Structure 1
Amino acid sequence: MSSVFSQDELAVIRRAYAKQILALSGIADNPRLEEAFAKVPRERFLGAPPWLMSRAVRGYEAVASHDPVVLYQDVLFALASEKGVNNGSPSLHARCLHTLRLREGERVAHIGAGTGYYTALLAYLVGAEGHVLAVEFDPVLAERARANLADLPNVTVVQGDGAEWPREDVDAIYVNFAVGRPAEAWIDRLKLNGRLIFPLGVPQPKPSPQGGTHSLYGAGLCVTRKSAGLAVRWLGHVSFVCAEGRLAQPGEERQALQAAFEGGGMEFVRSLVWRESATPGRCCFTGSGWALAYDEVPD
């Protein structure tokens, strides 16, 4: 893959891209995140051209240029177009990674790693003393991620069902597909003061025009384990491709969750009630063994 730009010039372009992505995301105080976006080459994770750019309802269109410089913009490129799986919006991921506030030396699980671009950013943020477990359900994407990340000793790639990972306690979990409820492992393996970011969503009734099934309604949620419970922060409306594997199974809660989205109030959720009785009248949504409540969790 060649470019009309030299490697030094591409480094400058990546630096400009990093500054633009953080500015689009409203982030002014995270130099380590900016450095991660500036250092990790996006083209390494997107395969050979022609690259397919997502045009939303228009589906995918091939990018005319084969120069990797075109990849340094805030757009989605296909990883598996037939499934609607993309290398997602850099500005959206920047906001989520900023919210995670990763520290050097922390252990992170990346669930739904795709081909590893955002895994590489996570690896940069936790540093050589930290560790990233990257889990990908699709065998082809997992193999690509394993090859792309082979030179990063602080990353382990696993091909498997994201519902079953992590299997050891971690400081943070970053999920990149929509689910109707969090997996038990995501809650149970989260350390005290650990952070979980996942897209809660209800799938569209039929596949998307660009392939795969995406969320009809979706909310990015950040869950923090405190000594007094699980605090929740709403991160905004999001649309992700929906889970495969165990978490894709339709459940009795789906209709109730859709009603909760349509009724409004998800942005006011402040806590996740897990394996406990929820207070009647204080919940946006109540499922089997869990609920999203309006009550604050004390520090």
Structure 2
Amino acid sequence: MPQEGSDHYRRAYARQIARLAEVRDGRIELAFESVPREAFLPPPPWTAISMGVAVRTSEIADIYDNVLVAIDPERGINNGEPALHAAWIDAARPRPGEAVIHVGAGTGYYTAILALLVQPDGRVEAFEYEADLAAQAARNLSSYANVTVHAASAFGRALPKADIVYVNAGVLAPDVEWLRALNPGGRLIFPWQPHKGWGPALLVTRRAGGFSVQSLMNVGFISCSGTTERISRGRLPTEADLAAVRSIWIGSTRAPDSSAVAVYDDVWFSSEKPGH
């Protein structure tokens, strides 16, 4: 159960996160206000992390701040930075009635926020590879009728059609099935980490002429579990290559050409916009 005073802290926290992330959709602030963060965390004392500094605390006010909170320090698993997720969710623009695939759901906190944003008729399919985290997420999300938790990897498998694929684990390359799952106008957001440990967060949109790519920010995420990734063929992309990306292509539908900046087994990145 939420500790006494949680409602008060959530209201101030939601305002802070919306301001820091400069969110355009006011429903996101309401969603952060509605979901008790402590319900998705281990019991206190918690380890709150900000700017690389970890603080042990049992004060609920300390987790209602723009901090990571440790879920499993030994595995490097955290409940991620709220302002970063608010910015990503705002960029992905979840709408009522849409279908979302959440990759790397952890214990379900951001799954719950996504679930609120696609109500009343939308659904979230949450995938978590770590069995213990998936079990916790299933318990934590049991009151969210529009969420299904899958204790499985969302990498290398056919997925249901979706309007949003929201990926919370770093990958050397996106899974081709994430692209195939997108409905027309669908959005994929993921941390592309071709250098293992850092890289740009990319927003991919399925358009009539292909998959456009917008770079949002540099991030560092724990690597996606349950993957069989290979490095880019030929060479690793440089920082200039990362900045030049404008589209992504499925290799079986279009072969890499002179615009390619990174080429993988099933997908490749191009410096040209879709339709060119």
TM-score by length of 2: 0.92
1:232 paired residue number: 213
Aligned to 2:230: 251
Residues 1:203 and 1:288: Cα distance change in structure 2 (over 3 Å): same
Q: Alpha-carbon deviation of 1:283?
A: 2.8
Greater than 6 Å deviation, 4+ residue runs: none
Counterpart for residue 133 of structure 2: 141
The CA deviation at 1:274 is: 1.3
CA–CA distance in structure 1, aligned partners of residues 89 and 166 of structure 2: 9
Q: Distance in 1 between matches of 2:2 and 2:128?
A: 29
Cα deviation for residue 120 of structure 1 reads: 0.2
* Equivalent residue for 1:62, pick from 52, 56, 66: 56
2:250 to 237, 260, 274: 274
Which structure is higher in helix share? 1
Distance 1:113 1:166, change over 3 A: farther
Deviations 1:43-101 (A, max 9, x none): 0001201112236656x5422xx232221101111112111011000011011000110
Residue type of the alignment partner of 1:54: I
SS of 2:192's equivalent? strand
Distance change >3 Å, CA 56–CA 244, structure 1 → 2: farther
1:174 matched residue in structure 2: 166
Matched pairs, number? 274
Within the alignment, does 1:12 sit opposite 2:8 as a pair? yes
Please name the residue that 1:199 is paired with.
191
Match of 1:52, SS state, is strand
Note closer, same or farther for the CA distance 1:17–1:55 as it changes in structure 2 (3 Å cut): closer
Inter-CA distance 250–196: structure 2 relative to 1 (3 Å threshold):
closer
* Residues 181-226 of structure 1 deviation map (CA, whole Å, 9 limit, x = unaligned): 111221111111110011111465xxxxxxxxxx1x3110111111
**Structure 2 unmatched runs, 5+:** none
| One-letter code aligned to 1:62 | R
- Taking a change above 3 Å as real, the CA distance of residues 81 and 164 of structure 1, as seen in their structure-2 partners, is same
User: What letter is aligned with 1:288?
Assistant: D
1:293 positional shift: 1.2
Residue of structure 1 equivalent to 2:264: 287
- For 1:211, the equivalent position in structure 2 comes to none
What code does the residue aligned with 2:56 have?
A
Q: Provide the rounded CA distance (Å) in 2 between the counterparts of 1:147 and 1:253.
A: 39
Cα 1:61–1:244 change in 2 (3 A) is same
1:19-39 CA distance string (max 9 Å, x none): 111111122x31111110111
Cα distance in 1 between the residues matched to 2:156 and 2:165:
13
The alpha-carbon deviation at position 15 of structure 1 amounts to 1.6
1:44-193 equivalent positions in 2, closer than 5 A: 44-54=39-49, 60-63=54-57, 66-164=58-156, 167-193=159-185
Q: RMSD of the TM alignment (CA)?
A: 2.1
Q: Which one of the candidate residues 213, 223, 233 is aligned to 1:242?
A: 223
Matched letter for residue 277 of structure 1 = A
Letter in 1 for 2:25: N
Work out whether residues 74 and 90 of structure 1, in 8 Å CA contact, stay in contact via their aligned partners in 2: yes
What secondary structure is seen at the aligned counterpart in 2 of 1:92? helix
Unaligned stretches of 5+ in structure 1? 205-214
